[in-house]
Structure 1
Amino acid sequence: MAPHAHQHQNQHQNQHHHASGHEGPHDEPFVAELLDLEAEVLHAHLTEVTGRLADLTADRPVRRILDLGSGTGTGTFALLRRFEDAEAIAVDASPRLLHHLRGRARELGVADRVRTVEADLDAAWPDFGNIDLVWASGALHHMSDPDRTLREAYAALAPGGLLAVIEMAGVPYFLPHDLGVGRPGLEARCRAALSDRHAEAMPHRGADWGPLLSRAGFTVEAEWPYAVELVPPLPEATGRYARAVLSRMRTALDGRADTDDLATLDTLIDSDGPHSVLHRDDLAVRTERTVWAARRAYWSTGSQA
């Protein structure tokens, strides 16, 4: 639930949903680390979402799952834990991240339940067969034509199948509001400084996906926003997660923020420094997300093209 690449210079970048500021293939080891850290820190909330999806599919067994823009498998593995009789197809345009996902699947003992497919979701889709549940977490706003992506998802689902769309308002906040040299609100200023860049790179970020889902032929069965607010005691990985996100932000802010704010960020992400987020005891994790659950009709309604 993706988690978020802000620049898309080649096809695989359009499908990674948890890497703030992902610039190119050379960043993929960092992206993998960031996605895994987010999965660890936000594990409880991901479990809550999959639980609600299980309620919505209680009358229809979920046997085949399609994870769009799977990254390192955050959604894939959460869904396989929830739906113990299911198999998953993890789709991403990055061979490195899919390799990482396969290794993780072996570690978790579910390699026989996961198939990976390298594909650009902005191009023609492979034939995935009939799918019971499609998962698109933080992926749709990276698509060049989200309407087309939703039509493809509709076509991939078996009649009565469910699509889950998860989108976040932005990357999480971690720092106390009063942090900043002479001025509070460091994180808010940093995000404001990047807002134009984000709007240009991701024009569909923050969209209301309900009308687009209906236009693609889906019936929206549920929509629920939820706020994540984690306070101490925090998961062990929180400091590393905060450092990874703030490091991406720092890179993207070159030439966009004042020198005091950049210096403060440098201090926060210095892994050896006494004021590093790795050592602070006043961190929190605050973010907002929305889930849409949409159904393909049980009967044929004709072409969705």
Structure 2
Amino acid sequence: MTSLPAHPTGTPHHDHTHDGTGCADVLDLDAQVFGGLLDAAVAVAVEHAPDAVRTVVDLGAGTGTGTRALARAFPRADVVAVDADAAMLDRLRAGLVGTGLADRVRTVEADLDAGWPEVGTADVVWASASLHHVADPARVLRDARDALVPGGLLVVVEMTATSPVLPDDAAHADLAAHLDSAAAQAGWNRYPDWTPFLTDAGLEVVDRREPTAVVPPGPAASRWAHATAARQRAHLADRLGPDGLAALDAVLAATTPTVPTDPTTTHPAAPGRAPGEHTVAARGGRIVWAARRPR
């Protein structure tokens, strides 16, 4: 986690920029590789939710991985998926086809900076990797509290320590340290400890957990590592020293398919991996806060 000035004067980094389809692809790959971390976060919501959950609101639903997980975890609830990006919501709806969940999911296109969306009363509000993007999170948290039923639950999830992992004997195996420093300088995924924000919004913090995972090399980890490293190299190159760039290039070389699947990806020429040969693991983590509206 990249730290911020201490609350109450510190505010999260406000950044809505992304590159559309590329961002969505990486989000979907991240969800595929780190599905266990999503399960762990959803389990926190299930553990602390009210007894009868009728409505779940997913703030910043993105491509809908969390939306689908919440709909499965709360089989008697309707899920309202909120996002400011119409293309993301299109992708979310497409991802519901054939799941049996579409009848219980409603999408709302809304920018949280413009005010609280028309979502009605909620038993659970879920905000995964979205709260740090809003301009005034304190206001959004107060609005979320007001939308919750007495005893209702707000769950906030943020990503931590997400990077490809080269083998220990690789020339540049310390990639994570380089990326953490570069991302901090660039203000990527910047957020505070949400605990005092939640308390100030009139919510009672009932849980805070930090699940982590290292996913071993395999086809999914290779696809995720390649897409992630390509984006990191494109956006963080000016903040990475020679060792950091070399480590990213090593990831790209090790995860390049024998027949490239994305001809627009640019990185130094490399022979690529042989079919069935995967050497790059995936490291990730989450911080999960659960806070209840007092009865």
1:157-200 superposed Cα distances (whole Å, 9 cap, x missing partner):
112110011112243343235534xx5523422332332111xx
Equivalent residue, structure 2, for 1:193: 182
Q: CA deviation at 1:260?
A: 5.9
TM-score, L = length of structure 1: 0.79
RMSD: 2.5
**Matches of 2:38 and 2:160, distance apart in 1:** 16
Q: CA deviation at 1:265?
A: 2.7
Q: Relative to 1, partners in 2 of residues 1:146 and 1:99: Cα closer, same or farther, differing over 3 Å? A: same
For the Cα contact (< 8 Å) 2:251–2:280, is it kept in 1?
no
**Matches of 1:147 and 1:63, distance apart in 2:** 26
Percent identity reads 41
SS in structure 2 of the partner of residue 103 of structure 1:
helix
1:32-79 superposed Cα distances (whole Å, 9 cap, x missing partner):
21111111111223223222322222x521111111111001210111
Equivalence map 1:214-229=2 (5 Å): 214-229=199-214
Which residue, out of 259, 265, 268, partners 2:248?
265
Q: Relative to 1, partners in 2 of residues 1:258 and 1:229: Cα closer, same or farther, differing over 3 Å? A: closer
Q: CA deviation at 1:85?
A: 1.0
Equivalence map 1:71-86=2 (5 Å): 71-86=62-77
For the Cα contact (< 8 Å) 1:242–1:277, is it kept in 2?
no
Paired residue type of 1:162: L
Equivalent residue, structure 1, for 2:29: 37
Q: Which has the higher contact order (CA 8 A, sep 6+)?
A: 2
Q: Relative to 1, partners in 2 of residues 1:293 and 1:258: Cα closer, same or farther, differing over 3 Å? A: closer
Gaps of 5+ in 2: 1-12, 259-269
SS in structure 1 of the partner of residue 151 of structure 2:
strand
TM-score, L = length of structure 2: 0.82
**Matches of 1:85 and 1:177, distance apart in 2:** 47
SS in structure 1 of the partner of residue 20 of structure 2:
helix
For the Cα contact (< 8 Å) 2:14–2:134, is it kept in 1?
no
SS in structure 1 of the partner of residue 53 of structure 2:
coil
Q: Relative to 1, partners in 2 of residues 1:47 and 1:187: Cα closer, same or farther, differing over 3 Å? A: closer
SS in structure 2 of the partner of residue 89 of structure 1:
strand
**Matches of 2:274 and 2:69, distance apart in 1:** 28
SS in structure 2 of the partner of residue 253 of structure 1:
helix
Which residue, out of 100, 123, 129, partners 1:138?
129
Worse-superposed segment, 48-57 or 112-121: 48-57
**Matches of 1:53 and 1:77, distance apart in 2:** 14
Paired residue type of 2:96: A
Equivalent residue, structure 1, for 2:239: 256
SS in structure 2 of the partner of residue 71 of structure 1:
coil
**Matches of 2:275 and 2:156, distance apart in 1:** 32
**Pair 1:113-2:79 in alignment:** no
Paired residue type of 2:180: R
Aligned length: 269
Gaps of 5+ in 1: 1-6, 14-22, 299-305
Paired residue type of 2:204: T
Paired residue type of 2:93: R
For the Cα contact (< 8 Å) 1:50–1:82, is it kept in 2?
yes
**Pair 1:126-2:123 in alignment:** no
Q: CA deviation at 1:100?
A: 0.3
SS in structure 1 of the partner of residue 30 of structure 2:
helix
Q: CA deviation at 1:259?
A: 4.8
**Pair 1:158-2:182 in alignment:** no
Q: CA deviation at 1:261?
A: 4.3
